Chains A and B, each alone.
Chain A
Amino acid sequence: MPRGLGVSTLRILAAIRDGASYGLDIVARTEIPSGTVYPALRRLARKKMVSSRWEDPDTAELEGRPRRRYYELTPEGVEALAEGVRRMRAATRELVPSESGS
């Protein structure tokens, strides 16, 4: 992972970590547009940072709706999120002094 994940991607990972399980849920929690969330999910899935599984059809039928696709973090995803957060912190430290300095 040479350049690291972008802010939006990190926020999506964080949302999943915090319990958002399917696309709309992530969109609602992060307020990132759906046009960003889904392509990001595909990319993360390709990088094996998230995995997905289909909801149990019986549960869905019981609630009278189509089955959903649920996402969860893989160990790689957990690690990438932690690494991303570290990088963001470092960048913020570099920024903050000049902001408080004037």
Chain B
Amino acid sequence: MRSARALVRAMSRIVPRDERAAWREEWLAELEAAAGEGGNERRPTPLVFSLGCVPDALGLAFRGAAPRGLATDVRHALRGLMRAPGFTASAVATLAVGLGTTAVLFSMINGIALRTPPGVGGAGDLVQLGRSVEEAPTWEAFSSRAFEEIQAGTTSLESVAGWSVHSFALGEPGQARYVTAHFVTGGYFRTLETPAVVGRLIEPSDDVDPGAHPVVVLSHALWTSEFGRDRGVVGRTVRLDGAPFEVLGVAPEGFVGLHTVGARPEIFVPSMMNPGYQGSTPFTSWRWQWLNAFGRLADGATVEAAADELSGIAFRLRSLSEDQEGVQIVVSGGIGLAPWDRDRVLRLTTMAGIVCALLYLLASTAVANLVLARSLGRGREIGVRMTLGVGRGRVARGLLVESLLISGAAALVAVPLAMALDNLLPALVPLPVVASMSVDGNVLAFIAAVALLTGVLMAWGPTRLAAEARSGGLASSLRGGLPRHSRLRDGLVVAQLALSMGLVAGAALLGRSMLNVWTADPGFDPRGVIATGIELPEEGGDDAPDDTSGAATYLAALLAEVEARPGVRAAAVATQLPIAGGQNFGGFAPADRPDDAVEGESLAVTGGYFETLGVPILRGRAFRRPTGEPERVAIVSTATAELFWPGEDPIGKELRGDPAWRVVGVVPDARLRSLRSDPIPTVYYPIPLSMEGRLHLLAGSQPGTTLPAGLVAEAVAAVGGPPSATGATDLFAAMVDSMAETKVIGYLVGAFAVLSLLLSVLGLYGLVSYIARRQSREFGVRLTLGASPAHLRGIVLRRSLRLAGAGLLGGLVVAAITGRILSSALYEVGATDPTTLVATAVVLAVSALLAVWVPARRAARVDPVVSLRDV
């Protein structure tokens, strides 16, 4: 009773002012009456009764706004839909699934590309800058020197800022964990107009001299997880790579700068704190291109003006350094997806988008088919209504209202569905997308627009039928005089079959790709190999970088310790992990022909590397165990050997270097970057002991054993080395993960394929049932005249299978197109792989046959007496 009253009061707000008081008084009195003297059981409960105030109030509020009789149409349609709950529920559910999935995809694009990243102000005036060269357009970062030139030279940009991704070990030695950091220039937060949540953010004065500003800004997430949102964190000291840094403040929740795709930054550190690499720092270098740049337009400046000005600065850069030869500065207006991420994300979203669109098309086709079937069955009702004087336009409007009600209800269901799916999205997307993808106004508007469009399109078929019914008049409509064959309906079923064949074929292709990934041979064997990051011990501080024998001893001891552990077959240390992490592009050339230099992969490893990864040494030998300063030797891949010394024995040849590197071994080519990339020329060097930074320790297990993730960390502790990461990467899992895109699209398409197959089989079933019912009288007559049931069955089957055949033929075309679209996610299977297409066609043919057989058999069994009576 209380909620009923509340409803009346709430609704009274929309009633026109002059009627409001009376309206409320009347309804409250009615409620009172409904609640009292309960005796009459035909009377509704007060709450149900009170619902009537909603249309009443709406009617008064929008009086005159709606065309005459619209309310009646809505009521009529609603009643009609309620009378067919099965039809209504399946139509709404099917459309809602289609709408929901499409909306999720839209919200992904919305989150990544359209919405302003959190914590960024005045986004409209931001521009992103990229370094390119004339010959090969690209989008790269800038060197510190170039960045300074841009900063000093521009007037169209009011400020310029740069950032770069780094990682730090956060915490006390022994308990540190790696966090993702952004090095940011002093103007970074100002340019983004980002406010601090606590304390203050990095300012220009915090980023002046190299190494002089040990300060850090925490991300909101890190502040929450590590400091329990303690506001007193400002001024505290945290350790980054062992050194003390003072906490300045906390960035806004969700702030990632402009970096919407990639690992979420957990801390922000002044760019001048970049420790550099092997003793050198980037601050005075032209070559060390590390700063991603963006700027804010000055008042009145346009993106075009900024681009013109910056191309002038680019010419200046060319004259300043040889390393800037041919350099261009490209400008991209607006924020959203960083230009270098666009390709990757675009490819994924295009594929997902097309798959979603296919599904949506299929869902709406299926529902259109249902609506059409229903209106065919309602021919008699429509005929009666027209005879009673309801105009043709009015009937059409009624049908439109009904189909809009269905799509509207589907939209209402789709919103919570999209919200639920959105929460799953981050887990599904193979890219670490950090943008928020929640449902917002844009997404709601998208759902509403698509639903409206669908509603209008769905009404088209029934409306046309109504027009045909009118021409036949009442008498014909009473005889069930709607057209016997509906081309439209046939067409819908064919389209449905074709679309679902496309999806099933796509799913099959992706499934085969995943199988191929599992059995792929990248040129090494990642099964049973785990890898953990380790550090070399510091040798008596920075003053004694030459004393490296300690490092060699340490590595040898550590490797011996690991190999002595149970289950370990072999172990090695390398600068990079195949596929799972890191790549180092380097140039190399034969010592006697420096002009023949090629770019390829170069990595440093210890002797056991090839054994650990099951790579055979084709010629020569592996590296020796680390004992002191490593030998000046190299091992080359087959591709390198054939490139430099075709037809010759590469052993003993030399690669350019000072002194030169002598080739001591040849190994087979391997796909070190990803399963998709072809092997590139590779050179392996022994690990240099003056190396700083992180190394990877690889441990291969004996067959049938699984190595514990903490194995390396324990071994490091046992030999007293600097603490390493505690986890381990499983190389095989990493290899499979590297194909996550294929996996995700595969799941998506697979789920849709099952759904679509179901939809189209149901559609076919419905159609054949309908044909059979339509012809049941004719069949009755034929049976009476002596036709056999088999003959009747044949009639139904022939017609249905013609449709199925047409659907399958069309499906081949759709499947070929789907394959082409998905081709970048496929692995070692052709986009129009004949085996897959044939198998798909067989699956669909069998499903279609089943869908057709049951109603056809039923039609043939018709009882002549019943069929003749039942008109």
Contacts and interface: CB of A to CB of B under 8 A. Distances in A.
A38 B60 CA distance: 10
Given A42-B56, A42-B59, A98-B478, A35 B33 contact: no
Interface string A86-99: 00000100110010
Interface string A49-93: 000000000001000011111000000000000000000000100
Max count, chain B CB within 10 A of own CB: residue among A24, A31, A68, A98: A24
Contacts of A68: 26, 29-30, 33
A71 B42 CA distance: 21
B contact patch SS? helix
B40 A28 contact: yes
B871 interface: yes
Nearest to A33: B52
A38 to B, nearest CB: 4
Closest 3 CB pairs of A and B: A34-B52, A38-B56, A35-B52
Nearest to B394: A3
Given A22-B29, A68-B33, 5 more contacts: A24-B49, A33-B52, A38-B55, A42-B59, A65-B33
A27 B44 CA distance: 8
B20 to A, nearest CB: 14
Interface of B: 22, 25-26, 28-30, 32-34, 36, 40, 42-44, 48-56, 59-60, 71-72, 75, 384, 387-390, 474, 478, 869, 871
Interface residues of A, number: 31
A24 B59 contact: no
A23 B36 contact: no
A69 B26 contact: yes
B26 A23 contact: yes
B387 A94 contact: yes
Contact of A35 (B42, B55, B60, B389): B55
A39 B60 CA distance: 8
A90 B734 CA distance: 79
Given A65-B29, A68-B26, A68-B29, A24 B43 contact: yes
A contact patch SS? helix
A66 B25 contact: yes
A83 B55 CA distance: 27
Contact of B49 (A27, A60, A91, A95): A27
A102 interface: yes
A65 B36 contact: yes
A66 B871 contact: no
Contacts of A102: 869, 871
A13 to B, nearest CB: 16
B56 A28 contact: no
B394 to A, nearest CB: 9
A37 B26 CA distance: 14
Contacts of B478: 98
Contact of B390 (A3, A36, A60): A3
27 contacts: A22-B29, A22-B33, A24-B43, A24-B49, A27-B44, A28-B40, A29-B42, A34-B44, A36-B55, A36-B75, A37-B52, A38-B53, A38-B55, A39-B59, A39-B71, A42-B59, A42-B60, A43-B59, A60-B29, A65-B32, A65-B33, A66-B28, A66-B29, A66-B32, A67-B29, A68-B30, A98-B478
